[in-house]
Structure 1
Amino acid sequence: MDNVLKVESLSVYYENNQAIKNISFCAEEGKLIGIVGPNGAGKSTLIKAILGLEKAQGNVTILGKKVTNVRKQISYVPQRNQIDWDFPVLVEDVVMMGRFTHIPWYKKADKKDREIVAESLDKVGMVEFAKRQIGELSGGQQQRVFIARALAQHADLFFLDEPFVGIDITSEEIIINLLREIRNMGKTVFVVHHDLSKVEQYFDELLLINKELIEYGKVNEVYQPDILQKTYKGRITLFGSNENMMVVSE
């Protein structure tokens, strides 16, 4: 498989505080990758630095090019608390935003764009809510709408920051199944995730960080007691063997 993302010596500083330090890794196409670490480990900062949303030192190439040259091929779903849910916009308009990178500034959305929006809403089970204001939805429904926006963009790389926080079980199941479908299409999906009990079920690979890269690789190789203890600096409790390991973090 080809590398779709190459990160070299990536570091981010906030005044005198180093948020992430000298992180390097390569990711292949067709992978569902969990980014895992304790609170304050720099998980969200890593995504933003990769996408050029944070001032960073180091190099990032996506599909062999600089990020600024492949914006259309990258989809980003931020944390829910970073979104103004009171903004007066309809569900279908939010999803249409995913088409904006494909529509020239001098044109309006056409029939094809509207069909893609409808298909994307259908995939997340939100067609009947198309005319609702986004703030009227539950947390899980809102997250599904933003997944639909990402689907409508037809991107090659997807970055989702804590998509399962504060949502219902039904929405979580819909979202993880969609992410698997995207992965199976040969796309690469990165998910900032905090629930260690589900990483073996959800992901192909794990990227464990605590400001520095602790380990990156296949889940069965990385999801190991010694590596988890190193990542969380002893702030987790492990019960049982690897096959039946239970984890209580922080």
Structure 2
Amino acid sequence: MKSDTVIEVRDLCASYHDKKVFDNISFTVGSNQIVGIIGPNGAGKSTLIKAMLGFLPIRKGCITYKKQPICKLRKEIAYVPQRSSIDMDFPVLVEDVVMMGRFPHISWWGIPSKKDREIVAESLEQVGMYQARKTQIGQLSGGQQQRVFLARALAQKASLFFLDEPFAGIDMSSESKIMDILKALRDTGNTLFVVHHDLSKADSYFDKLLLLKNKLIAYGRSEDVFQVDCLREAYDGKVATFNKQKGMLVVNG
């Protein structure tokens, strides 16, 4: 697959409330890539994507997308946050949630056009949730909700996607459906970052892995990242080995 560099992160340092989360992170990513961001709890995985998105002030460093500051290309960037950060009791219909993905393309005084409504319908069809378009978001299962939030990102017609723990607490059917969609997005030239915790699936889900523990420990293909020394450093001295035939990561204390 063709993979020109589209994202460059240089010497990135970010903090929460003056407490440094990570420092001096640098890497490049091409098109047609799904990058899995992995590491233990508190390693800075979600902080990294929020810093890249500009949701957090960065202490130093820079992020460029297509050789421009990432902040100048907001319409091309879609973000799917953790479901736990969203108020599911808010009375909003599925189709209205997905329409939010069209807001970057609608003037502040305008209303959604016929084209916008068609894109919303197409996005819901793509994730298998069109029949639930008139349902309140809080009435759906966790997997269904996650598919709706992915539809919102699809409706934005972005080329760069950030997903924070999209598979947390969802059923296997939804996980498989979402992964198929992410791979299809990759295969049509998009770049995706996915925060993920299940290391046993990382080899089959992602083209590149970015292993964090408050710094960049390793970046590359799974066979390069799943090295004993790298995993020991990330997971507090535990030794881990990856059995590719069984698709399992075995961690020994």
Q: Does 1:238 align with 2:240?
A: yes
Letter in 1 for 2:39: G
Q: Distance in 2 between matches of 1:240 and 1:168?
A: 25
Alpha-carbon displacement from aligned partner over 1:41-96 (angstroms, at most 9, x marks no partner): 00000000000001112111112112221000000001111111111110000101
2:39 maps to: 37
Question: 4+ residue stretches of structure 1 with deviation over 4 A?
Answer: 239-245
2:166 maps to: 163
Alignment of 1:80-159 (within 5 A): 80-159=83-162
Deviation at 1:229, TM superposition (A): 1.6
Deviation at 1:16, TM superposition (A): 4.7
2:212 maps to: 209
Deviation at 1:163, TM superposition (A): 0.4
Percent sequence identity is 55
> Which stretches in structure 2 are left out of the alignment for 5+ residues?
none
Deviation at 1:243, TM superposition (A): 4.6
1:175 maps to: 178
Contact residue 208 and residue 220 of structure 2 kept, 8 A:
yes
> Which stretches in structure 1 are left out of the alignment for 5+ residues?
none
Closer, same or farther: CA 200–240 of 1 in aligned 2, 3 Å:
closer
SS state at 1:70 partner: helix
Contact residue 32 and residue 188 of structure 1 kept, 8 A:
yes
Q: How many pairs align?
A: 249
Task: Give the CA RMSD over aligned residues.
Answer: 1.7
Closer, same or farther: CA 104–241 of 1 in aligned 2, 3 Å:
closer
Deviates more, 1:240-249 or 1:82-91: 240-249
Q: Distance in 1 between matches of 2:251 and 2:96?
A: 40
SS state at 1:99 partner: helix
Deviation at 1:18, TM superposition (A): 1.4
2:187 maps to: 184
SS state at 1:75 partner: strand
Q: With structure 2 as the length reference, what TM-score do the two structures score?
A: 0.93
